[in-house]
Chains A and B, each alone.
Chain A
Amino acid sequence: MVPDPREAANFSRPEGFSRGDFRRRAEEFIGIVQGLWRGWDADALLFDKRGGRFFDPKKMHLLDHKGEFFSVRGPLNVARSPQDMPALVISGLSEPNMDIGARVADVILLDEPSVAKADDLKRRALAFERSPDAITVLMNVAPGAEMAGRPGVIADKLEESFRSKSCDGFNILMPPVLSVLDDFVDLVLPELRRRGLVRQDYRNATLRSHLGLAGEEGQ
């Protein structure tokens, strides 16, 4: 959520965005996206061949958004998500954007372990009438080269951050090197499993279910 002038220049905006515009635009943008994801109720599709009713018109909703930057009637021409809505992940949140994250994100990625930051996010979520559990805070960690020798050390570090409640889990920054992924899967994960810190198996087939996010069953 930080404007990069190089990217803007490839999208017919050589002048870029001002910071304020960028933030308000991002906020409006996210609201529209999540609104469009709710355009069809989960039980809207009837597939009633005999009655000639493919969907129930009452279960399709126009968005009718008219805002500062966008005007979008909707609905989307894609059915409701199998997991209710795709998960919204936000990373690189600067201080002024923390509120946006707390209001709309399902997952927030942080670069450093910080109990204070994780607490702060959950408090802000409460202020927006969201359950603190509605946000999953993940910490970016690079597995490093020492895995093979000392998988227990890495497991200790992860366990410590996790137990101190500075995050709900980790986003492992895998370099595009197969052996690093293999070492993590073969050495570190079994250790974390032995400690009961990582699932033995998927409970369900959606991302929301893996992350323990709301939206799966009850809407």
Chain B
Amino acid sequence: MTARQMKLGAFLWATGHHIAAWRHRQAHATAGVDIDHYIRLARTAEAAKFDMLFCEDAAGVREANVNIASQTSRSIGFEPISLLAALAVQTSHIGLVSTASTSYNEPYGLARTFLSLDHLSGGRAGWNLVTSASHIEAANFGSTGLRPHADRYERAREFAAVVAGLWRGAETSGFNHEGRSFSVRDPLDLPRSPQGAPVMVQAGASDEGRDLAARTADVVFTAAQTFEEAKAFYDDLKGRLAAYGREPDDIKIMPGVAPVVAETEAEAQEKYEELQELIPDDVGVALLSSYLSISDLWRYPIDGPLPELPPSEGMQSRQALVIEQSRRDNLSIRQLARHFAGARGHWRVVGTPAQIADELEARFEGGAADGFNVMPSYFPGELDAFAALVVPELQRRGLFRKDYEGTTLRDHLGLKRPI
């Protein structure tokens, strides 16, 4: 039995996770319309033995203010499931995880799409369940606006149960569901998944989000700035599993990490500053507003503190995290905006390969993470750097695999096959 090793996801996002990534001189600005770019990233991640590629999604543009949006690269890109289907045939081992919403899909269609991706990749697919917190998306699906948080999660619970049932029942003849939001009469017209069922990932960290994860998820993606936050989340979620008859190891908790790595600390710091300098103030403030679910943050003095805020109907977990950080470090709106714009609320580490490995090791060994979803600041450079510098350091320490143990995503993640 080898020692426990960390799981690593390569979170792909067109030009990079830093909000100003696309402006970096070495960033591939046309990423969102260039499949060859993605093939290259997928091969880099697979050669480095990452567990999975991970894609976010939104059923709409990310920013309503077109002048803000036009200064970022986030308004266009490939639809992630079709992107992953293309990458599936260019790779052989790496897992393929896409985000998809329970609010704007039907379970039968979504279960079928992911099971199909799972078959065509030989058992490498995963679904990251989200409930979608943005008003912009809501406006593409009717005139009634964003549904309240509790309603979205109620729908998500039923949705997840139907999908799991369809995946499990793929071979048998009887599947039938009549529920509050959905009804399904037939099983899927596909055989059972090569890995038992596609992997269920979940992002959503409110109380209801955690509860749903404890019930159904195999992997949880989360945002945590400090060790204490990460540890508290980890312990809380693992503690919820027993109530659903599950073991702590049945769920892998993988917080996001946004590394900036270079051979020396000074170089890494310089690289980070260079990116930060590229963030326009109005873009930073707009992004911060979206995390706080308020629309008029720009009315407040940019060098003053955050105003008092009403509770969010959107991402409660992210709002709490931003407020907590602003109080703890006594940050102005501008400082907060820059801080969060950079890593979009995720944990940022800047340093040498050894320093970054130290940080990851501390959270991994300290019981705050089972692995990490790596969010390179710009592509392809920062993924290349992580693969070339940090991965070998983790391998040297015995913290990460040198080769794949199996062929399916469940094999990589050490997950049981569902019965």
Contact = CB atoms under 8 A, between A and B. Distances in A.
Interface of A: 6, 9-14, 40, 45, 47, 49-50, 52-57, 60, 66, 70-75, 77-79
Interface in B120-151: 136, 139-143
Nearest to B20: A52
B71 A12 contact: no
B62 A49 contact: no
24 contacts: A6-B185, A6-B186, A9-B183, A9-B185, A10-B186, A12-B106, A12-B181, A14-B185, A45-B30, A49-B23, A50-B23, A52-B280, A53-B70, A54-B29, A54-B70, A54-B72, A54-B73, A54-B75, A57-B67, A60-B75, A71-B139, A72-B140, A73-B139, A77-B60
Contact of B77 (A12, A50, A77): A77
B58 interface: yes
A70 B143 CA distance: 8
A50 B76 CA distance: 19
B61 A77 contact: yes
Given A57-B67, A77-B62, A79-B33, A9 B186 contact: yes
Given A53-B70, A53-B71, A56-B70, A45 B77 contact: no
B106 A45 contact: no
Secondary structure of the B contact surface, majority rule:
loop
Contacts, number: 91
Instruction: List the 3 closest pairs (A to B, CB-CB), nearest first.
Output: A73-B139, A71-B143, A9-B185
Contacts of A72: 139-141
Contacts of A9: 183-186
B249 interface: no
B30 A60 contact: no
Nearest to A79: B76
Given A47-B22, A78-B77, A79-B76, 18 more contacts: A10-B108, A11-B109, A40-B76, A47-B29, A49-B24, A54-B29, A54-B73, A55-B76, A71-B141, A71-B142, A73-B60, A73-B139, A75-B61, A77-B77, A78-B78, A78-B79, A79-B32, A79-B33
